[in-house]
Amino acid sequence: MNHTISQAGPAVVIGAANIDIGARAFAPLKPGDSNPGKAQVAAGGVGRNIAHNLCLLGCRAVLLTALGEDDAADILEADCRAAGIDLSHAKRIPGASTSRYIYLCGPDGDMELAVSDMEICREITPAYLMTQQDILSSAAAVVVDANLPEESLFWLGEHCPAPLFADPVSAAKAPRMKALLPYLHTLKPNRLEAEILTGISIRSLADAGKAAGLLLETGVKEVFLSLGSEGVLAAGQGCFHHIPCFPAHVQNATGAGDAFLAALCRAFLDGMDLEQSACFASAAAAITVESKNTISPELSVDKIRCRIRET
């Protein structure tokens, strides 16, 4: 049984929705050569994935995004409907192509190379977000990803009354988050993204603490800095916790961060403290990487609690 919560309002996710085209090689990837492996096509996008995970965790999720008027958009609409995601507020752009994400994984399931075509996310403008002020004002929490234009992120910081959760997405897009930092409740960077946002080279847990501390000084209330195989450093005002990775048989690591942030949002809505939130999210990530799919159909509040008890 999953645990659906009676939120004061929905969890609103603002970000990318796209078609994921991925492949996992049977052997270590050889550059410049054709590598035998297994390919799959699925609905994806950081924002859409977070919204899907929120639904699996018993939350009401509304997704604000931009879609073209093409077959890919139709696939995404059907997928969101099946997952329980409210896509009724999405912006449709006539003549535009819905975004696509192409990635390659090694035999261990870790992503080694990716290309993202996210130009349509430029259409998630402040003007569009202004038309969604009612849903933003009613939200219990708002999750944003750095696929949004910088001016849209700043607009949300200035006008969104709900607690803001943010994913920097990638090293290339992380700088867009700088103007939003003073407004954030929660930031979930990985090591490289944190280095770019702080200028600190992270080579040890002490370095990670310094970077997290600097981010807290900007106004962020909580930082969950992913250290890959070394786990996560959770930092709040005067409080630091290092949570090692939960044991997992990795099948596909591409969706771990999306599940982690969705679980952080659910933990916040449940009133968990910093350490509890980090454990809850880490367990969600462990369950997710054990699936061959970016989204694990096994993810649930009950499964997370069971994984925590077993570890």
**Tens digits of per-residue pLDDT, 218-237?**
999 999 999 999 999 999 98
- Looking at residue 134, the DSSP 8-state letter turns out to be H
Domain 11-310, second-level architecture: 3-Layer(aba) Sandwich (3.40)
**Burial label, 255 (beta-carbon count in 10 A; 0-12, 13-18, 19+):** buried
CA angle 219, 220, 221 (to 5 degrees): 110
Give percent of the chain with pLDDT exceeding 90. Answer: 87
> Which among 240, 250, 309 is positioned nearest to 280, based on CA atoms?
309
The DSSP secondary structure of 66-97, one letter per residue, reads EEESSHHHHHHHHHHHHHT-B-TTPEEETTPP
How far apart CA 261 and CA 190 sit, in angstroms, is 12
pTM: 0.92
How far apart CA 278 and CA 274 sit, in angstroms, is 6
Average pLDDT of the residues in 169-190: 96
Contact between residue 187 and residue 152 where contact means Cβ atoms under 8 Å apart: no
In sequence order, the 6+-apart residues with CB closer than 8 A to the CB of 120 are 66, 67, 68, 93, 96, 97, 98, 99
pLDDT surpassing 60 at residue 7:
no
**Could you tell me the pLDDT band of residue 4, with boundaries at 50, 70 and 90?**
low
